[in-house]
Every structure is written in C-alpha cells, then in structure tokens.
Structure 1
Amino acid sequence: MSILPNILNKSVSFTRTFARSIAYKSAISLSNLYPQSSLKLTTVEKPIFEEGVDFNGVVPMDQLDITYSRSSGPGGQNVNKVNTKVDVRFHLESANWLSDKVKSKVLEKYHSKLTKEGNLVFRSDLTRSQQLNLADCLQKIRKCIRESLYVKPEPSPETEEKIRRNAEKANRERLAFKRERGLVKRLRQGLDY
C-alpha cells in the first residue's frame, strides 16, 4: 500500500514539470518584449504625424495593394507550391498618409518608377517567407521616402578648396602621363625630338 502514494506523487511531480516546460517563455520572447502588441502586421489605429517631421515611418497597411505570387529561382518544391513573392503598390497622388511636400519629392526622384496609373510598385522575393518579403517591401517604401527627403549638405569652403586642388593635381598627372606616352610612341617611329 505504500507503493501507490509514491507512484501518485511521482506522476504529479512529472505533470507539474511537464506543464512548467510548456509554459516557459524566454525573457526575450516577443510577448515579453512587446506586451501590448498582438504580434500581427496591422495598421496603426491613428497614424501619428509629428510636427516638424515629414515622414515618421508609419506606412498604413490598409492603403497598400498587396499581392502574392510564386517566386522564381531555386527553392525546390516550395517554389511551386507557396506564394511567397510580394508585390506592394500604392497610388502616390491619393496617398493621404504622405504630405504634399513628400509626394512631390518622391515624384521628382522616382518618376521613372511610376506606372501609367501613377502607382509606385515594390517587389520582394528575397526570402521564402511571405511575411519577411512583406516586411522587406515595407522597408523599401520607407527607404524610398527617406531618400527622396534627404538633402545633401553643402560642403564647407575648405572642402571645396581641397576638391579643387585634388582635381588640378589629377589633371596635371593625366597630362604628364599623356606627354610621356606620346614621347614613347614618337621614339618608336624613329622621329627625333
């Protein structure tokens, strides 16, 4: 009779250990790092437009036209079965999440990438995961907008002078090399100079 309680105690202890191992979460799991997040790709309820900032990085998912298709290239049967390639497009003129200034800058820089309908198209088949390719497309959109807003700083007078001196030195060396090469060719022809 003393064996039965011993077996029951072991089974209860096994059950507790098993339950603990299932419930374990790492300190760096997504639910611990972002406790308020549902961990789904969705649009922010109300895009936050900060004063003085042209673009804060928020791209509303509901205003993008997202299509999936099969990727090309190696990947085995996964390529033939799963739609992992992502095409993300949005109409630039009707994008109300961009200010008019941002729209004009993007249009100025990327006018050759616009379709006839006025859509900007971004594609990604970088990985074999739909979500990672979608994230890559969103990153491309952010990069496109930030690059169009970037203003190259004016060089200082010292830098301009250094550039001018380097260009003059390069021209002198180029002309000296040409004279030397021309002299070698004239000497091969037997002309005395």
Structure 2
Amino acid sequence: MSFGKNRYLFIKPGLRIPVSEIIWNFNPSGGPGGQHANKSNTRVEAELVVSQLTEIDDQIKKLLIKKFGESLRVVEDSTRSQNRNRKKALERMEKILIDALQVQKKRKPTRPTYSSNERRLKVKKHQSKLKADRKPPDFN
C-alpha cells in the first residue's frame, strides 16, 4: 500500500476517497518500548473532514455527517511501526465508511404464531392462578 496521490479508499463502486484528503498526525505512542517508544512518532491519528471531501456528492456527505459529525477520526498505535499503523488506520477507516453506507433492511412486521400465543396465555393463566391462591379465603 502506497500513500501517494493515486491511493484511494474504495468505499463502494463509484465511490472513492483520495488518501490525500486525510489529515495525518503522528505522536509517540505510550506503553513499553523503552527508548524507541519515547523518541519515535509511531502513534497515528487519521482524520477525515467530511464536509471538505471533493469526490463525494452532498447526499452522502449529509449521511456521513449525521452518523459521525463533522469529522471521522481513527487512532492506531498497536504496532511499533508508523507505516504499519498508517495501513491499519486506513483499513479501519475504510471499514467504518463501508459499514456506515450500508443500507439497513427495513424490518417486515410479523404476527405472533398461534403456538406462541397459546404458550403466552398458558403462562398468564398459571400466574393468575398462583396469585389467586395467595388471597385469603372468602367466607361470605
């Protein structure tokens, strides 16, 4: 994976985002690693400002802004290499965007089956009988 001008995040057919539109920040990652961890900027922050995307139409921008707000930020510091962390951050961002643009199927409402209704009424009758048995007897 190269990070040049020709690299894109492919979200779905006909929809791609140039990697050049991602804002990168690099910091030292925490945790063990001694001198290497203290002086190497291996922690990666990738930020995608949704409103400034050039190759996406306004309808998709509105949907993304509704889901993520003004920007989408991914932080990765799982490896000791900045390059590997950049790749992982891009993969995560790509997956997040793909999942966000999936169309949710509308649920088709169904009615309870006859047997489930029978079961519900049987339990209801049983509970009613238990509660009725708790009452003191009526001697009138």
- 1:72 to partner: Cα distance: 2.3
Distance 1:43 1:54 in 2: 18
Runs of 4+ in 1 over 6 A off after TM superposition: none
Structure 2 unaligned blocks of 5 or more? none
Structure 1: stretches of 5+ with no match in the other structure? 1-38, 112-117
* Offset of residue 181 of structure 1: 9.6
Answer 1 or 2: higher relative contact order, Cα 8 Å, separation at least 6.
2
Secondary structure of the residue aligned to 2:29 is coil
1:175 and 1:54 map into 2 onto residues whose CA distance is 56
Determine which of 47, 52, 55 is the counterpart of 1:94: 52
How many residue pairs match? The answer is: 134
> What's the TM-score, normalizing by structure 2?
0.69
Over the matched positions of the two proteins, sequence identity in percent amounts to 21
- In the alignment, structure 1 residue 82 sits paired with structure 2 residue 43: no
Say if 1:183 and 1:145 are closer, same or farther in 2 by CA, change over 3 A: same
Q: Partner amino acid for 1:68?
A: F
* CA distance in structure 2 between the aligned counterparts of 1:178 and 1:104, rounded to whole angstroms: 52
* 1:43 to 2:12 alignment: no
- Report what 1:183 is aligned to: 130
More helix, by proportion: 1
Higher strand share: 2
Whether the 8 Å CA contact 1:68–1:83 is kept in 2: the answer is yes
TM-score (normalised: structure 1): 0.53
Task: Provide the rounded CA distance (Å) in 2 between the counterparts of 1:182 and 1:79.
Answer: 69
Q: How does 1:44-193 map to 2 (within 5 A)?
A: 44=6, 53-56=13-16, 59-73=17-31, 75-77=32-34, 78-111=36-69, 118-155=70-107, 160-161=109-110, 164-165=111-112, 169=116, 173=120, 176=123, 180=127, 183=130, 187=134, 191=136
Change (3 A) 1:54 1:105: farther
Q: Which amino acid aligns with 1:42?
A: G
Query: What RMSD, in angstroms, separates the aligned Cα atoms of the two structures?
Result: 3.7
Aligned-partner Cα distance in 2 for 1:121–1:42: 20
